[in-house]
A and B are shown apart, each in its own frame.
Chain A
Amino acid sequence: AQSVAQPEDQVNVAEGNPLTVKCTYSVSGNPYLFWYVQYPNRGLQFLLKYITGDNLVKGSYGFEAEFNKSQTSFHLKKPSALVSDSALYFCAVRDDDYKLSFGAGTTVTVRA
């Protein structure tokens, strides 16, 4: 069975500093990896996905993620964080059976 781990419950950064949200995964087949963001009282919004190809994936709102097969990681990054990036971030993995598993989520707080 697949699983996703987000080792940090919270990440706090100052505006303008780099932001990294960590994710590691475990899946038996090919990993199909996703990042979603949830703003307060809203549903989840897609940020980016990795299916195959280039290990560096670029997504919405200036976010990118790096797929590392040897470390089974898919960390989310943003070079310069904004206060508006404060939200709950979820990493997810979908296996060959189309079942999607989410990590526990990481709360990002960007201070002005």
Chain B
Amino acid sequence: KAGVTQTPRYLIKTRGQQVTLSCSPISGHRSVSWYQQTPGQGLQFLFEYFSETQRNKGNFPGRFSGRQFSNSRSEMNVSTLELGDSALYLCASSLEKGYEKLFFGSGTQLSVL
């Protein structure tokens, strides 16, 4: 069974641009969540989607948004990029809502210049 796939693996953008990251969950998984990982802030929760609905959202500005499609694939978008948005963005999927383990992708490394 294929794991969680995130594309692209690396991205370089400049300030003010926008970016879209993609995540394909494990087949059959309906819950997708996104996290930002930085050396200074650690792992921070962005949002979680289940059956195309955003179920939970972290403390990030409105420039960060996401969506989930009917096939459970998810995208997150960051508009008006800032230098501080440079980070590793991780996507995770799980079968259902609740308490079972998350399966993480390898992440998208975003660098904002």
CB distance from B49 to the nearest CB of A (A): 11
Minimum CB distance partner of B45 in chain A: A100
> B13 contacts the other chain (Cβ, under 8 Å)?
no
Is A43 an interface residue when CB atoms closer than 8 A count as contact?
A: yes
Q: How far is it, in angstroms, between the C-alpha of A99 and the C-alpha of B50 when the chains are bound?
A: 13
B18 contacts the other chain (Cβ, under 8 Å)? no
Q: Which of B10-28 contact A (CB under 8 A)?
A: none
Question: Is A101 at the interface (CB under 8 A from chain B)?
Answer: yes
Given contacts A42-B106, A43-B4, A90-B43, contact A98 B97 (CB under 8 A): yes
- CB-based contact B106/A43 at 8 Å: yes
Which residues of chain B are near A46, meaning CB under 8 Å?
Answer: 101-103
Q: Are B106 and A98 in contact (CB under 8 A)?
A: no
Are A34 and B101 closer than 8 Å at their CB atoms? yes
Residue in B42, B43, B45 with the greatest tally of chain A CB atoms within 10 Å:
B43
Please, which residues of chain A bring their CB within 8 A of the CB of B68?
A: none
- A100 and B92 CA atoms in complex are apart in Å by 11
User: Judging by beta carbons under 8 Å apart, are A97 and B42 in contact?
Assistant: no
Which residues of A28-59 have CB atoms within 8 Å of chain B's CB atoms?
Answer: 32, 34, 36, 41-46, 49, 51
- The list of the 4 closest CB pairs from A to B, nearest first, reads A43-B104, A46-B101, A102-B43, A44-B104
